[in-house]
Structure formats: structure tokens, C-alpha cells
């Protein structure tokens, strides 16, 4: 996926100074009023207001305008739906990739593209073949991944997303709208995205690593899937959390 994005601030101290208008001498004379002491705004963690606070550093500062690729060791993608109206059933995708052209200097101009292989992992402690002797699949994850009643990987080997618009909703939050293709059907989908910041680690040299969370809800029926109605909810919540590594060929020029 090609993405982009964006979070928040802190507190401040209040300084009051005054002079006694009855003296008419101002703050320079001997009768000048004594200014009150500097006070800090108390908060729940520090009700006495004794701890100095300051706004956090800009999370976009230092992040390069560059192309970033998904760092697969630190990337997670899941789909969750209601099962029989009783529990949230979650599938974890095991193979996906994304490319992000990230513009820290102008996040709304960023772009994202992603490809997801329709392969999932899911908890299933029972003996699948014993319970499904006529199934063509060897295990439950295979059935979920390949059966067209579910993800349909046998017939549709790729799920893709290509961004068409990025909008800021806050300092470090935004939306990414794009075309999602699933089961051979393409529909517009909007992701709610949070930009978590930028980091540098010695084993990546000068390259930046940036992180995001994203979430959206899609309708199965909008993509032509109406199987197991009443057993599986139509709404499916998609969640992503992961890191993107600046491509090695990119110049590490930080944003202003």
C-alpha cells in the first residue's frame, strides 16, 4: 500500500503579572504590587502542578520525502467479522506487501499501493478432516483462504488496494481513499490512518523507518459475496499496523 500520515500535543504554564492600580506608581516604585508566582497547570497525573510539561517533538520532523516499502517483519493485517452474532472471529493474513510514496512535507500528496495474497492463519484446534471428510481442503486455514465462500484465493489470487486520495484530519491522522479489488470486484474504500512517527536503527544505516495504523470496514455483499448469511456478518473490519522502510536507493533528505 502507498500511504501517508499524521497525532498530538501537550500542556503549558500560565504566567500572571500585575501592578496595584491604587498606588499609581507601576511596577518600578517601592509600592509596586508583588507579581504572583509562576504556576503550572495541574493535571490528573500531577494534581499539585509541580511538574513542568512541554509539547512533544513534531513526529514528521526528520522523516524523508521518499519511497518506502513494507517492512514485513513488523507488519500485521487482519479481518474480523461476527460469527453467529456471538463472537468476533479474526483472520490474520500471512503474506502481503505495500509501497508508500510518503511526503512528510505534504502528507496529502502521498500515495499507497498494496497487494495481499489470500492466505490466512486462524485458530482451529479441532481435527479438520475428521469434521469435514468431504472437503477438498486439508485444513481449515486452507479452506478459508481458497474457498469462494470465504476469501476465494483459488479463483482470485490477489487482493489489491491503490490509493486515489489522501486527506489530513489531524496533525498525525488522516484518511486514505482508494480502489480495493476483492473477489474480482473493485470498490472504493476509505481507511482511517494514524501516523505513529519516524525512527532510525543502526542496522538500516541512514534509512528512515516510519509506522502507521489503519482501519476500515467493508461490506462482503458489496464485493458479491453473500455466502453463509446469518452465520458470518456482512460487515468485516480490516485492521493494519506496521512499519515502512525507506528504499535504499532514496536520498535521505529530511523534510523541512
Question: Domain spanning 66-117+158-246: which CATH class is it, in words?
Answer: mainly beta
Cα 191 to chain centroid, rounded: 9
Q: Nearest Cα to 219, choosing from 244, 251, 185?
A: 185
Q: What does the domain layout of the chain look like in residue ranges?
A: 66-117+158-246
Q: What is the pLDDT of residue 124?
A: 93
Contacts of 171 (CB under 8 A, 6+ apart): 6, 7, 8, 9, 59
Q: What is the pLDDT of residue 256?
A: 52
- Quick one: average pLDDT of 84-96? 97
Q: What is the pLDDT of residue 82?
A: 97
Contact 239, 77 (CB under 8 A): yes
The winner for highest mean pLDDT among 30-39, 103-112, 243-252 is 103-112
Helix then strand then coil, % of the chain, to nearest 5: 10, 40, 50
Read off the pLDDT of residues 208-247 as tens digits, 9 standing for 90 and up: 999 999 999 999 999 999 999 999 999 999 999 999 999 9
Confidence category of residue 56, pLDDT binned at 50, 70, 90: low
Rg value, the chain, Cα? 26
Amino acid at each position: 500500500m502507498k500511504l501517508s500520515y499524521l497525532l498530538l500535543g501537550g500542556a503549558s504554564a500560565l504566567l500572571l503579572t500585575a501592578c496595584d492600580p491604587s498606588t499609581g506608581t507601576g511596577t518600578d516604585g517601592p509600592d509596586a504590587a508583588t507579581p504572583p508566582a509562576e504556576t503550572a497547570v495541574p493535571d490528573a497525573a500531577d494534581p499539585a502542578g509541580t511538574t513542568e510539561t512541554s509539547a512533544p517533538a513534531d513526529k514528521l520532523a526528520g522523516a524523508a520525502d521518499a519511497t518506502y516499502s513494507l517492512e514485513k517483519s513488523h507488519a500485521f493485517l487482519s479481518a474480523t467479522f461476527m460469527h453467529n452474532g456471538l463472537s468476533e472471529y479474526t483472520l490474520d493474513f500471512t503474506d502481503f506487501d505495500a509501497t508508500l510514496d510518503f511526503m512528510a512535507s505534504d502528507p496529502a500528496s502521498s500515495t499507497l499501493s498494496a497487494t495481499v495474497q489470500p492466505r490466512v492463519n486462524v485458530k482451529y484446534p479441532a481435527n479438520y478432516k475428521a469434521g469435514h471428510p468431504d472437503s477438498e481442503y486439508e485444513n481449515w486455514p486452507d479452506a478459508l483462504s481458497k474457498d469462494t465462500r470465504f476469501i476465494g484465493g483459488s479463483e482470485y489470487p490477489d487482493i489489491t488496494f491503490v490509493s486515489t486520495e489522501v486527506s489530513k484530519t489531524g496533525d498525525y491522522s488522516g484518511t486514505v481513499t482508494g480502489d480495493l479489488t476483492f473477489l474480482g470486484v473493485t470498490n472504493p474504500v476509505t481507511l482511517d490512518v494514524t501516523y505513529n512517527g519516524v525512527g532510525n536503527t543502526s542496522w538500516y544505516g541512514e534509512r528512515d523507518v516510519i509506522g502507521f495504523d489503519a482501519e476500515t470496514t467493508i461490506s462482503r455483499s458489496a464485493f458479491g459475496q453473500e455466502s453463509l448469511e446469518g452465520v458470518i456478518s456482512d460487515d468485516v473490519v480490516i485492521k493494519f499496523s506496521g512499519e515502512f522502510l525507506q528504499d535504499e536507493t532514496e536520498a535521505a533528505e529530511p523534510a523541512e
